[in-house]
Amino acid sequence: MRSTGSYVTSSTLGESVQAFVPHALPPRGPELATESFAALNHAAELALARLSGVAGLVPSVDWLLYSAIRKEALLTSQIEGTQATLTDLFDGEAGFAVSNTEDVEEVTNYLRAFKLVQENLRSPGGLPISVRLLCEAHRLLLDGARGAGKQPGELRRSQNWIGGTRPGTAAFVPPPPEHVAGLLADLERFVHHEPSPQSVLPALVKIALVHAQFETIHPFLDGNGRIGRLLIAALLEHWALLPEPLMYVSGYLKQHQSEYYRRLSAVREGGDWEGWVAFFLAGVEAAATQAERGIVGIASLVAADRRRLLASPKAGPASYRLFEMLPMMPRFTVERARQSLDTSFPTANAAVQVLEGLGIVAELTGQKKNRSYSYQRYIELLAL
Ligand SMILES: Nc1ncnc2c1ncn2[C@@H]1O[C@H](COP(=O)(O)OP(=O)(O)O)[C@@H](O)[C@H]1O
Ligand SMILES: [Mg+2]
């Protein structure tokens, strides 16, 4: 059996526990078995290539990016117990009152963290994928009420554990705090320099390795799952696996959450890197196929609605323009429509009425004032 690390004695809360210190990547003794991932990697790459092609179906890729990242922010937060829904998030963005403000804040924080990483990676003077960048992202992720006291933006300085009520009963005790910086430096090196030229691993396989290693290091007091999954998206971008970030894995990981955790444990306990990599690659293929299906569904809904709008004698320029904004503004008031259209209230109101009359949007409150509208079928498709 392959050894993936060693145990050291660490003490915390007055208890002495065996903490796991992983070996640096890539797996050795033996090296990763190529035949275990070749077919799956090929299928995953193929699914990503198809997804890139299908993005051409819609007039604006911005829509797709807008909804894809919001879905990811929601799902990755839900894995960690956040209760918010897609509707809550759109409502928050529309300025409507939401009951679960803290949950929505958590999702919004993820969006900010993701944006920061993406901007750095895309700008010439920006930070590369690095411990520093991940700490900056962590600072935004844990900003606000829930993150306070969890050392936002900082690597942990104490021993943590996963599962169980105390370290002695934990499912897993990550490395002692004094090992964290060194282990992350090794991980950073693995990302930026292929350690052994003889064994060039496919990018998706490397991403799988990096995510699992990051979770094993568990460098923060909280937010390790979300930053580790953000790292997956960052690496997809860094290694240019997709022209646009339209595929995220949190949906798959949430759907298979117990297997996800079990496979991570099996790397440490049984040396089973192959099992984790296979699980991850199957997840990429599934997520890409699902994203492709979602885009086709949304593209046909929007195209059908547009056709009805263009055929309607009541429609005019303002309603056409408003319609094209809906995918990035699926919940709105007349006032918000007015601002977006940069027009008068009566014109905006008339445009909204046209869309409502055609059944494209529906009014939610039943009130006379402050009426709010929803592009409901679009939200329902996204939530699938
Ligand atoms: N047995 C395990 N071994 C390694 N990592 C694990 C294990 N079980 C869960 N994890 C990882 O830990 C994450 C949860 O860590 P946490 O710091 O609470 O992150 P967040 O606040 O984003 O949830 C999970 O999403 C998963 O990625
Ligand atoms: Mg947590």
Range of lowest pLDDT (50-59, 218-227, 233-242, 294-303): 50-59
How many residues belong to the chain? 384
pLDDT value at residue 368: 83
Instruction: Give, for ligand 1, the residue of 80, 102, 256, 280 to mutate: max count of ligand atoms closer than 8 Å to Cβ.
Output: 80
Which atom of ligand 1 sits closest to the CA of residue 261? 8
pLDDT value at residue 215: 98
pLDDT value at residue 193: 86
Which atom of ligand 1 sits closest to the CA of residue 160? 17
Distance 150 CA to ligand 2 centre (A): 10
> Which whole number is the average pLDDT over 188-217?
88
CATH class of 312-383: mainly alpha
Quick: pLDDT tens for 287-344. Answer: 999 999 999 999 999 999 999 999 999 999 999 999 999 999 999 999 999 999 999 9
Closest to 166 (Cα-Cα) out of 299, 358, 13? 13
pLDDT value at residue 55: 83
**226 or 56, greater pLDDT:** 226
Mean pLDDT (the chain) is 94
pLDDT value at residue 147: 87
| Beta carbons within 10 angstroms of residue 198's beta carbon | 7
Q: How far apart are CA 296 and CA 307, in angstroms?
A: 16
Quick: pLDDT tens for 11-39. Answer: 887 888 999 999 999 999 999 999 999 99
Contacts by 244-247 with C-beta closer than 8 Å and gap 24+?
244/52, 244/55, 244/61, 244/64, 244/65, 245/65, 245/68, 245/69, 245/118, 246/51, 246/52, 246/55, 246/64, 246/65, 246/68, 246/291, 246/295, 247/48, 247/51, 247/68, 247/284, 247/287, 247/288, 247/291
Look up the CATH number of domain 5-294: 1.10.3290.10
Distance 87 CA to ligand 2 centre (A): 23
pLDDT value at residue 106: 95
Which atom of ligand 1 sits closest to the CA of residue 141? 22
Quick: pLDDT tens for 199-208. Answer: 689 999 999 9
Residue 197 has pLDDT above 80, yes or no: no
Quick: pLDDT tens for 54-110. Answer: 888 887 889 899 999 999 999 999 999 999 999 999 999 988 888 899 999 999 999
Domain segments of the chain as ranges: 5-294, 312-383
Q: What is the pTM of this model?
A: 0.95
Pocket, ligand 1, Cβ cutoff 6 A: 79-80, 162, 171-172, 215-216, 222-226, 228, 261, 264-265
Range of lowest pLDDT (62-71, 217-226, 366-375): 366-375
Strands 331-333 and 15-22: unpaired
Quick: pLDDT tens for 253-268. Answer: 999 999 999 999 999 9
**195 or 272, greater pLDDT:** 272
Q: How far apart are CA 217 and CA 22, in angstroms?
A: 8
Distance 93 CA to ligand 2 centre (A): 24
Distance 352 CA to ligand 1 centre (A): 45
Closest to 356 (Cα-Cα) out of 335, 332, 336? 332
Cβ neighbours for 28, distance < 8 A, ≥ 6 positions apart: 2
Residue 198 has pLDDT above 80, yes or no: no
Q: How far apart are CA 24 and CA 189, in angstroms?
A: 10
